[in-house]
Amino acid sequence: MSNPSGPEDASPLPPAAEEHFGEIVAGIEDYAIFLLDARGYVASWNAGAERLKGYKAEDILGKHFSLFYPPEPLERGWPEYELKTAAQTGHFNDEGWRLRKDGSRFWANVTITALKSPTGALRGFLKITRDLTERKQAEEALRQSEERFRMLVEGVQDYAIFMLDPEGYVISWNRGAERLKGYQRHEILGKHFSIFYPPETLEAGKPAWELRQALEHGCVEDEGWRVRKDGGRFWANVVITAIHDKEHVLQGFTKVTRDLTERRKIEMLEEMDRQKNEFLAVLAHELRNPLAPIRNAMHILEAPGADAATLGRARVMTRRQIEHMARLLDDLVDLARLNRGRFGLRKEQLDLETVVDHAVEAARLDCEERQQQLSVSLPAQPVRVFGDRTRLEQALGNLLNNAAKYTNPGGRIWVRLTSTEAEATVRVQDSGIGIEPMMLPRIFNLFVQADRRLDRSVGGLGIGLSLVKQLIELHGGKVDAFSPGRGKGSEFVVRLPVAPNPQTPQTPEAPDAAAEQTARASGPAQLRVLVVDDNVDAADALAAVVHLAGHAAQVAYEGSTALALAPQFKPHLVLLDIGLPGMDGHAVGRALRQRPETKDTVLVAVTGWGQAEDRRKSQEAGFARHLVKPVDPAVLKTVLAELTPSAAGEG
Ligand code: ADP
């Protein structure tokens, strides 16, 4: 635009520029390109403008450009604002609805450029407008569809649907997720999704594994226990899908979780039902099996001409079959009592090697009959544990019995007892049929038998190992099974806590060992003391102190067990934890009071609460004493001593 501006300038542009400009833009159809004068009146008009806005040049030239605006921006003074800004800054860009001549709207992209003379005087504006209605509509349609989809996902109640960022942090949350997992959106956004997994799954590295699988395969489906906000568990079916953008950059993961707890429960019930039916069939078989040989033996015993050797064999056979049946029935009774929580232990300080020795001697005959070599190794030092002799012998007996049963004639069985300061270990190892790796984790479950094809004269009821596990755990111990595989022998390892040395005084106030020995030897009349506490260690420790003080102790880990034990044990004194789960100590105390055998039993509350109010409550509930945990052994001994004459006198 070389034309110098002169004082004659009434039009916005020098005439030559206008002409030039007109030539260039006149034919352009896709853009409305036109000039405004400095006040906003239309000064030129091209084909595109006519097509876009519907005005012919003669209709619009000299009209103010605010004609193109719908009422709402007009009211805001938008056209004036646009020109003012363009005049000040040189340019103005905008998008918005504009009007055509026929009143219809289109979505316009607008650029306004201020035109100035070399001296800087404002001459007018160049306005370029594009119709972006189609793009706008497509964007709007997409936005609406996204919004509908978002609402759909958010509203879904039965599925937790949410997104994780590439590192596994939660970035979206729907109503189903809120309902299923218990977290509100604001509580969970930004938290890592591993929060939904129980500890054992976390340890196994499950969350990271799932994301890796989703990355590798696009998608992963998994089932397992998950944890709600309140700590409750549910059985979840989970599908995780990796989300990539067009350039294949990972954007994150979608996670869809369903609660299948009900289905899982039904499956578990069906499985239990199946196991129960199978158990009944095995039980019927096992109980009938010994009858045939016993009947035969009876026949021989009644036969007139049988010689002494035949009679002897018949008697031995009968005894063996009866013992086998008795063992089965004992196991069944124990199992029923354990399952109903009616299982009391008579715990005392004992030398574990004598327990092992007895169990081995009981098994020896069996092994000899099968020509199995039984080796035993015991430590030189006694290994003290606090436990129930009969029950520990029973547990080891079951392991030895299995070792003999599942080892071919001529095989070997090893029993080894070792101990550290804290732990005693008994290993029962055999050279027998071994256990498949996949069976090992289930072997202690009730009714599980690793090899159903075994001759039924070998197998039992599938409850022996379950009993062993429960008995050992009631002693604060643990039992594990190991086997290199089928045909390669098995090893069962029992670990038990070692009892504290009885010679070591428990506290400075405790009477010295010599005095205690005398007390036990000449001792006061022995008390029968029932210790009730759901904390196994606390109960056992109290019982140990009672025992050391020369009294008889029984332990119950539940209120119902205490009530079941009390009528036979007839305790003089009950050390009763108040905060028991289920039936609390006060309820147990009341129930004991109502029974003829325990109506006069002395009740001592043992609790974590020592406020005056708590003591008053104990007193009102008929407790003679209120001891606060942890109970000082010296205090307990004093209480026992004080109560001895009156209590023990009542027999
Ligand atoms: P059962 O009455 O069948 O012996 P248990 O509960 O004692 O029941 O044992 C469960 C299963 O564990 C057995 O059926 C057997 O398959 C397997 N098992 C136990 N002990 C051994 C062992 N020493 N060697 C090989 N398998 C064993």
Overall average pLDDT of the 129-145 stretch: 93
Residues 237 and 315 in one domain: no
Query: Which of these three, 91, 111, 131, is where a domain ends?
Result: 131
CB of 397 within 6 A of ligand 1: the answer is: no
Q: Whose CA is nearest to atom 7 of ligand 1?
A: 464
The answer, yes or no, to whether any atom of ligand 1 lies below 6 A from the CB of 411, is no
Tell me the CA end-to-end span of the chain in Å, nearest whole number: 126
> Are residues 473 and 353 part of one domain?
yes
Q: Check if 395 has its Cβ closer than 6 Å to any atom of ligand 1.
A: no
- Asked whether the predicted pLDDT for residue 512 surpasses 50, the reply is no
Taking residues 275-300, what's their average pLDDT? 83
What average pLDDT does the segment 356-382 reach? 91
Higher per-residue pLDDT: 60 or 6: 60
Please report which helix (H) or strand (E) contains residue 490, including its range: strand 490-497
**Residue whose CA lies nearest to ligand 1 atom number 14:** 449
**Does pLDDT of 508 surpass 60?**
no
**Statement to judge: residues 452 and 403 lie in one domain:** yes
Alpha carbon distance 537, 555 (integer Å): 11
Average pLDDT (496-509) is: 60
DSSP string, 26-69: HT--SSEEEEEETTSBB----HHHHHHH---HHHHTTSBGGGGS
Residue 324 has a pLDDT of 81
Predicted pLDDT of residue 11: 54
The minimum-distance atom of ligand 1 relative to the CA of 463 is 6
**Cβ(443) to ligand 1 under 6 A?**
yes
Nearest residue by C-alpha to atom 3 in ligand 1: 462
Contacts 24+ apart (CB under 8 A), 419-424: 419/352, 419/379, 419/381, 419/383, 419/498, 420/498, 421/498, 422/497, 422/498, 423/495, 423/496, 423/497, 423/498, 424/352, 424/383, 424/385, 424/495, 424/496, 424/497, 424/498
Q: Give me the residue label for tokens 């109506």.
A: 599
Atom of ligand 1 nearest to the CA of 459: 3
Q: State CA 580 to chain mean position distance.
A: 24
- 40 Cβ closer than 6 Å to some ligand 1 atom: no
Give pLDDT, residue 501: 64
* Banded pLDDT at 295 (limits 50, 70, 90): confident
Assess whether 355 and 484 both reside in one domain: yes
Convert the pLDDT of each residue in 304-352 to its tens digit. Answer: 888 888 888 888 888 888 888 888 888 888 888 887 766 778 888 899 9
For residues 468 and 395, the answer to whether their CB atoms sit within 8 Å is yes
Q: In this structure, are 614 and 490 located in the same domain? A: no
**What pLDDT sits at residue 535?**
80
318, 324, 329, 330: CA torsion to nearest 10: 120
Pocket of ligand 1 contains residue 444 by CB under 6 Å: no
Q: Parallel, antiparallel, or unpaired for β 490-497 and 423-430?
A: antiparallel
What pLDDT is recorded for position 612? Answer: 74
State residue 435's pLDDT score: 92
Please give the average per-residue pLDDT across 380-391, as a whole number: 90
pTM for the predicted model, two decimal places:
0.49
Residue-wise over 182-219: b if at least 16 C-beta within 10 A, else e? ebeeeebeeeebbebbeeebeeeebbeebbebbbeeee
Q: Is residue 630 part of a domain?
A: yes
Q: Give residue 152's identity as a one-letter amino acid code.
A: L
Query: Considering 131, 147, 181, which residue would you say is the last residue of a domain?
Result: 131
424 lines ligand 1 (CB under 6 A): no
CA of 401 to the centre of ligand 1 (A): 9
Mutation to probe ligand 1, out of 366, 402, 433 (largest number of atoms < 8 A from CB)? 402
Contact 196, 226 (CB under 8 A): yes
- Which pLDDT does position 452 carry in this prediction? 57
Cβ count near 340 (within 10 Å): 11
Q: How far, in Å, are 13, 85, 589, 593, 616 from residue 574 at the CA level?
A: 111, 92, 9, 11, 19
| Residue 327 within a domain | yes
How far is ligand 1, taken at its centre, from the CA of residue 83, in Å?
A: 94
Per-residue pLDDT at 459:
57
Per-residue pLDDT band for 431 (boundaries 50, 70, 90) equals very high
Neighbours of 448 (CB within 10 A): 14
* DSSP string covering 377-409: E--SS--EEEE-HHHHHHHHHHHHHHHHHTS-T
CATH code of 540's domain? 3.40.50.2300
| Residue 396 pLDDT level (bands cut at 50, 70, 90) | very high
Q: Ligand 1 pocket, 465 CB below 6 A? A: yes
Pocket perturbation via mutation, ligand 1, pick of 279, 335, 449, 493 by most ligand atoms within 8 A of CB = 449
Task: Confirm or reject: Cβ of 406 under 6 Å from ligand 1.
Answer: yes
Query: Residue 182: its pLDDT value, please?
Result: 95
Mark whether 403 and 484 lie in a shared domain. yes
Q: Are 363 and 483 within one domain?
A: yes
Q: How far is the CA of 146 from the centre of ligand 1 (A)?
A: 60
For residue 460, which amino acid is it?
A: G
Percent of the chain with pLDDT over 70: 89
Higher pLDDT, 505 or 528: 528
Is 112's C-beta closer than 6 angstroms to any atom of ligand 1? no
- Return the pLDDT at 502: 52
For residue 353, how far is its CA from the centre of ligand 1 (angstroms)? 24
Q: Which domain holds residue 62?
A: 15-131
Please tell me whether residues 147 and 178 are part of one structural domain: yes
Instruction: Look at residue 504 and tell me whether its pLDDT is greater than 90.
Output: no
Distance 562 CA to ligand 1 centre (A): 32
The secondary structure of 224-275 as a DSSP string is: EEEE-TTS-EEEEEEEEEEEE-TT--EEEEEEEEEE-HHHHHHHHHHHHHHH
Return the pLDDT at 173.
94
Sheet of 32-37, strand order: 32-37, 122-131, 105-116, 91-99
Do 369 and 471 belong together in one domain? yes
Determine, yes or no, domain membership for 78. Answer: yes
> Is 275 within a domain?
no
Backbone angles phi, psi at 560, to 5 degrees: -65, -35
Ligand 1 centroid–CA 308 distance in Å is 37
- Non-local CB neighbours of 467 within 8 Å, separated by 6+ positions: 331, 334, 335, 338, 394, 395, 398
pLDDT one-digit tens code per residue, 456-491: 445 577 888 999 999 999 899 999 999 998 899 999
What is the distance, to the nearest Å, from the Cα of residue 375 to the centroid of all Cα atoms in its chain?
Answer: 43
Q: Evaluate whether residue 551 is within a structural domain.
A: yes
- Convert the pLDDT of each residue in 78-107 to its tens digit: 999 999 999 999 999 999 999 999 999 999
pLDDT digits (tens, 9 = 90+) for 147-177: 998 888 888 888 999 999 999 999 999 999 9
The mean-pLDDT minimum among 210-224, 370-384, 601-615 falls in 601-615
**56-60, 125-129, 424-428, 645-649: segment of lowest average pLDDT:** 645-649
Residue 163 lies in a domain: yes
pLDDT band at 451 (very low <50, low <70, confident <90, very high): low
Angle (nearest 5°) at CA 549 between 580 and 544: 45
Together in a domain, 90 and 119: yes
Q: Lowest-confidence range among 240-249, 399-408, 602-611?
A: 602-611
Token duo for residue 401: 């019995």
Residue appearing with tokens 């038990």:
496
The per-type count for the chain, helices as H runs and strands as E runs, is 22, 21
Evaluate whether 576 touches 585 at the Cβ level (below 8 Å): yes
- pLDDT category at 7 given cuts 50, 70, 90 is very low
118, 87, 112: which is closest to 14 by C-alpha? 118
For the chain, the C-alpha Rg in angstroms (whole number) is 45
Checking DSSP bridges between strand 105-116 and strand 91-99, what pairing results, if any? antiparallel
> Is the pLDDT confidence value at 510 over 80?
no
End residue of a domain, out of 465, 497, 529: 497
Nearest Cα residue to atom 20 of ligand 1 = 402
* Ligand 1 in reach of 48 Cβ (< 6 A): no
Evaluate: CB of 435 within 6 angstroms of ligand 1.
yes
Q: Are residues 359 and 491 in the same domain?
A: yes
Give residue 506's pLDDT: 40
If one counts the domains in the chain, the total is 5
Any domain includes 502? no
Contacts of residue 164, Cβ cutoff 8 Å, sequence gap at least 6: 170, 171, 193, 211, 240, 252, 253, 254, 255
CA-proximal residue: ligand 1, atom 13 (nearest): 449
Work out the number of other CB atoms within 10 angstroms of the CB of residue 474. Answer: 21
Distance CA 24, CA 46 (A): 10
8 A C-beta contact, residue 499 and residue 347: no
Residues 145 and 123 in one domain: no
Of the CA atoms within 13 Å of residue 426, those in its CB half-sphere come to 30
Return the pLDDT at 626.
86
Contact of 428 with 396, CB cutoff 8 Å: yes
Atom 25 (ligand 1) nearest CA = 434
Ligand 1 centroid vs 265 CA: distance in angstroms?
Answer: 27
Look at residue 272 and tell me whether its pLDDT is greater than 80.
yes
Is 264 a domain residue?
no
Assign 3-class secondary structure to 408-460.
Answer: CCCCEEEEEEEECCCEEEEEEEECCCCCCHHHHHHCCCCCCCCCCCCCCCCCC
Q: Classify residue 108 by its DSSP letter.
A: E
Ligand 1 atom with minimal separation from the 433 CA: 25
Which one-letter amino acid corresponds to residue 308? A
Please give the distance, rounded to the nearest whole angstrom, from the Cα atom of residue 339 to the centre of ligand 1: 20
- The protein residue with its alpha carbon nearest to ligand 1, atom 4, reads 460
- For 110, phi then psi, to 5°, come to -125, 135
Kindly give the distance from the C-alpha atom of residue 200 to the centroid of ligand 1, in angstroms, as a whole number.
Answer: 27
Q: Which residue's CA is minimally distant from atom 17 of ligand 1?
A: 450
Read off the pLDDT of residues 233-271 as tens digits, 9 standing for 90 and up: 999 999 999 999 999 999 999 999 999 999 999 998 998
CATH number of the domain residue 49 falls in: 3.30.450.20
Atom of ligand 1 at shortest range from CA of 432? 24
Please write the tens of the pLDDT for every residue from 539-550: 887 887 888 777
Query: What's CA 470's distance to the chain center, in Å?
Result: 22
Torsion, Cα of 410, 411, 413, 414 (10° steps)? 110
Residue 586 has pLDDT above 60, yes or no: yes
Taking every pair of Cα atoms in the chain, the longest distance, rounded to a whole number of angstroms, is 156
Contacts of 417 (CB under 8 A, 6+ apart): 352, 353, 356, 377, 378, 379, 383, 424, 425, 426
- The answer to whether the beta carbons of residues 598 and 571 sit under 8 Å apart is yes
The reply to whether ligand 1 has any atom less than 6 angstroms from the CB of 282 is no
Mean pLDDT of the chain: 86
> Exposed, middle or buried: residue 375 (CB in 10 Å: 0-12, 13-18, 19+)?
exposed
Confidence of residue 645 (pLDDT cuts 50, 70, 90): low
What number does the ligand 1 atom closest to the CA of 450 have? 16
Strand partners, 530: 554, 574
